[in-house]
Amino acid sequence: MILRTRATAANHRLQALVLKTVGNLPEPVQRRLAGRPILRDGQTLAADTQLILRLQRISRDRAAETLPILEGRRTVLRHATMAGGRQPIGAVRRLAVGDLPGRLYLPAGVSTPGPLLVFFHGGGFVYGDLDSHDAPCRFLAEHSGLRVLSVDYRLGPEHRFPAGHDDADAAYRWVVAHAADLGADRARLAVGGDSAGANLAANVALTAAREGLPLAYQLLVYPVTDAAHEGGSASLFGQGFYLTNAFMDLANETYLTPETDLRDPRISPIHADIPARLAPAYVATAGFDPLRDEGEAYARKLADAGVPVELKRFPDQIHGFLNAIGSGRSSRAAMREIAAKLKAAVT
């Protein structure tokens, strides 16, 4: 048993090394190895991303949604840590955010008091944790100069909707009340996340506006905004580009209750009423992502309601690029741009 565990760990280290190596090959070499460029909807998939997807197919590594939940969670964590690599950071501190686990990332040379980003991880409300998103939180903190507080929350099926949403709101209220203890400036608080975590962040921003809580900015990276996931990019990119329609269906079945209305504005903020004084938003989408169109539709909804919003599509990327900063140049470049926007907005 010990030998098998050691062999598995060694294999995972080898896979991570291969990902890092091929992700940093010269672009012409990547293109030759990846095969004919993938063009869809007027976009060309990044060569490093296409090559990594090809290697995943060759390895026949099973997708999380095809596995039992606990095994799928281990798979998501393994994929995320391999793709994220080791990212430098000034300091990391574990802490309790009310009743929830949290991890505070302090970039080198951080000032006190200073801005702080409250971050919620993605994973379909079923997968993910503080460890799966350790690398991107380190990267965001170090490249933006902000404190980043990553907050864990309850997942389905153990805890069904709206457990995760209630946790996110409670966590943000706790941060506002304890900003000074975190070294944060209440006037420069931001909230953000990726995928399901961006859905939580969008909901926190709506709650903050309704309750009059201070919030300066919302950072939404390929957010879930419409739980129906119908048509458009969901049809174009629902197979072969990491996030699949099967994953999204499983997420709905596992987190939502049979009685949940898919138009409930908490799970589908595209149907939310936009309150006055909603924080400005930056919405990042990926060209080859099933969630692309719903994220962009939410950005337009915010803009139509008078909310200052910047929408940026990274046309050569797939869902999950936030986690791939250690295995490819194109995803890392996208994340640098996102970190720069965050820095400019709240520092």
Catalytic annotation present for 264:
no
Strand (E) positions, 205-346?
Answer: 217-221, 281-288, 309-318
Backbone angles phi, psi at 260, to 5 degrees: -65, 130
Torsion of CA 134, 138, 139, 141, to 10 degrees: 140
Checking 248-254 for CB contacts under 8 A at 24+ apart, the result is 248/124, 248/290, 250/65, 250/124, 250/126, 251/124, 251/125, 251/126, 251/156, 251/196, 252/227, 254/69, 254/124, 254/125, 254/126, 254/156, 254/157
DSSP, collapsed to helix, strand or coil, labels residue 127 as coil
CA distance 70 to 313: 33
Which member of 319, 327, 330, 331 is catalytic? 319
Catalytic residue among 129, 289, 293, 316: 289
DSSP string, 37-93: --EETTEE--HHHHHHHHHHHHHTPPPGGGS-HHHHHHHHHHHHHHHH-----SEEE
Query: Among the options 132, 195, 268, 330, which is catalytic?
Result: 195
Active-site residue flag, 165 = no
Residue that has been written with the tokens 């379909």 in this structure: 124
User: Parallel, antiparallel, or unpaired for β 91-97 and 43-44?
Assistant: unpaired
Which tokens is 338 given? 């996102």
Q: 61 phi and psi, to 5 degrees?
A: -70, 125
Compute the distance between CA of residue 172 and CA of residue 191 in angstroms, rounded to an integer: 8
- Which amino acid, one-letter code, is at 287? G
Q: Is 169 a catalytic residue?
A: no
* Residue 19 CB partners (closer than 8 Å, separation 6+): 52, 55, 82, 83, 326, 327
The catalytic site residues sit at: 195, 289, 319
